[in-house]
Structure 1
Amino acid sequence: MFNLFKKEKKFPYIKKGEGHPLILLHGLMGGLSNFKALLDFFPKKGYKVIIPSLPIYNMPLFLTNISNLSKYVIQFLIEIGIEKATLIGNSLGGHIALIIAKKRIDLVHSLVLTGSSGLFEKSFGDGFPKRENYEYIRKKSQEVFFDPKIATKELVDEVFHIVNDKKKGMKTLYLAKSAMKYNMSKDLSVIHQPICLIWGKQDHVTPPEVAKEFHRLLPHSELYWIDKCGHVPMMERPKIFLDILEKWLSKFDFDHENFFCKI
């Protein structure tokens, strides 16, 4: 799918389809491929799907934090002329979506959060204490999913490479810590866009209690559960995830929404 990769000035991204824009924001250890099911499905349903590549490892270390990632996405949306988009974020991507929704209401029509950080999340731990231990990394990668088989050797190898690369490992830790410090419990009441929460019942990274707290604090949120599913529902249970999301989006009349897009 990466033959769809584009670059608008300094912003690399994938874009497919036409219609109301869905902006997909991946997590800290995730990537563009995590949203393959959405990229294949929603353009056929009359949506424009856009996946920016977040510069997690490209920012200077002292600027590597969730606030600057949020600013990057805001600049990206402005650069490509997107207004009133639906931001769909997993894990760290959901946290970024919440920050943008709070700061730039003009850019955000609605949010979809799945396994989002912003209130509480478990991490690999301080400094990846056993980062050179492949079995430790494999086990931690498997814990992200209900079905450990989803954590393929290719996926585990990628995580192992990241945490054992000195620069990438350090930036990963900086971002993880900045996300934990940027708690949004006092901010959520001012976010009034419609919000769809799609959560794995067996999410061990952002447990079900986190989803319930998001639902309680976000004024216009709806909460949907996926059973036998961990932290990355769109990867682990894509058909169910797509069904929930399509039905939720169908409630809006996007044909009469006022949004502008250059691309």
Structure 2
Amino acid sequence: MSNIKKEGKFKYLEEGEGKVLLLLHGLFGALSNWEAVVNRFAGKYKVVIPMLPIYDLPVRETGLTKLTEFCEGFIDHKGYDQFDIMGNSLGGHVALMYALKHPEKTDRMILTGSSGLFENAMGGSYPKRGNYSYIEEKVRYTFYDPNTATRAYIDEIFETTNDIPKCLRIIAMAKSAQRNNLAEELHKIENETLLIWGLNDTITPPSVGHDFNRLIKNSTLRFIDECCHAPMMEQPEKYNEILDEFLNQTVPV
């Protein structure tokens, strides 16, 4: 996952050839979160993962609107059209906001543990700077099997939350996600949509998956057991099977 390309202000990973499958990571997401998806689908698709500038925006502008504008700029820069879009957590929220603004450009949509309706915030005091055991507990809380969170992954998040400017942006982005509730907008979405949800999700519980399924007319909801907020990391084989089935059964534009 080291083939990072840089063009102007954009950094992104691109693997494979074919129809574009654009992946959007979450608040603490890393490109490595999608490794199993890239390995499985780069043989049939051009899998693209832009690095979202969560920590690079001015604090006062840090929010979903600016992230969506960044994605618009990246997609226009690359000239993508009729692409499939997939997002986890905050990335799903950005995917929804982009699809609502640009229905003519997006084809199929895949959401997993997406914010946009309800998310259980990490707690009012989060993130507690400098408290490793607290951060470790919160990170492990996002996985069904706490050991899925490697020491390196916890270390990375600890370093991020210990950086005051980054910490301020995390808080601003989380508040923006809660403010940008899309319940009144989702009926406008016509895209064929797959919802892949962890049955044990503690951040966006299964009821949230059901709500998305009810509000997005052309949506299919699939649950993965023994799985929390990042199914593509926790249960990569099951996740990829469900995704492959959806991409094969739905007719791309």
1:75 equivalent in structure 2 = 73
What's the CA shift for 1:159?
A: 1.2
CA contact (8 A) 1:118 1:179 kept: yes
What are the superposed Cα offsets for residues 145-192 of structure 1, whole Å, 9 maximum, x if unpaired?
000001111111111111111000000000000000000000000011
Counterpart for residue 243 of structure 2: 245
What's the counterpart of residue 176 of structure 2? 178
Q: 1:22 is matched by which residue type in structure 2?
A: L
Cα distance between partner residues in 1 of 2:6 and 2:84: 21
Offset, 1:253 = 4.1
| Cross-structure match for 1:21 | 20
**Residues 1:129 and 1:47: Cα distance change in structure 2 (over 3 Å):** closer
Deviation at 1:10, TM superposition (A): 1.4
What is the DSSP-based 3-state SS (H/G/I as helix, E as strand, rest coil) of the residue aligned with 1:94?
helix
Tell me which amino acid in the other structure corresponds to 1:6.
K
CA distance in 2, matches of 1:9, 1:133: 37
Identity %: 43
Q: What displacement does 1:75 show?
A: 1.0
Q: Are 1:128 and 1:163, in contact at CA under 8 Å, matched by a contact in 2? A: no
User: How far apart in 2 are the matches of 1:148 and 1:52?
Assistant: 27
Tell me whether 1:159 sits opposite 2:150 in the alignment: no
Moved more, 122-131 or 233-242: 122-131
Cα shift at 1:127? 4.2
Q: Deviations over 1:28-80 (max 9, x none)?
A: 01111100001111012x11100000000111111111111011001101110
Segments of 5+ residues of structure 2 without an aligned counterpart are: none
**SS of the residue 1:106 aligns to:** coil
Distance in 2 of aligned mates of 1:31 and 1:253:
30
Helix, strand or coil for the counterpart of 2:91?
helix
TM-score normalised by the chain length of structure 1 = 0.94
The residue correspondences of 1:58-73 to structure 2 (distance < 5 A) are 58-73=56-71
Root-mean-square deviation (CA, aligned residues, Å) is 1.1
Equivalences, count = 253
Post-superposition shift, 1:8?
Answer: 2.1
| Contact 1:189 1:219 (8 Å CA) reproduced | yes
Equivalent in the alignment of 2:32: 33
Distance 1:200 1:253 in 2: 26
- The question of whether the paired residues in 2 share the 8 Å contact of 1:127 and 1:173 is answered with no
1:130: how far off? Answer: 3.3
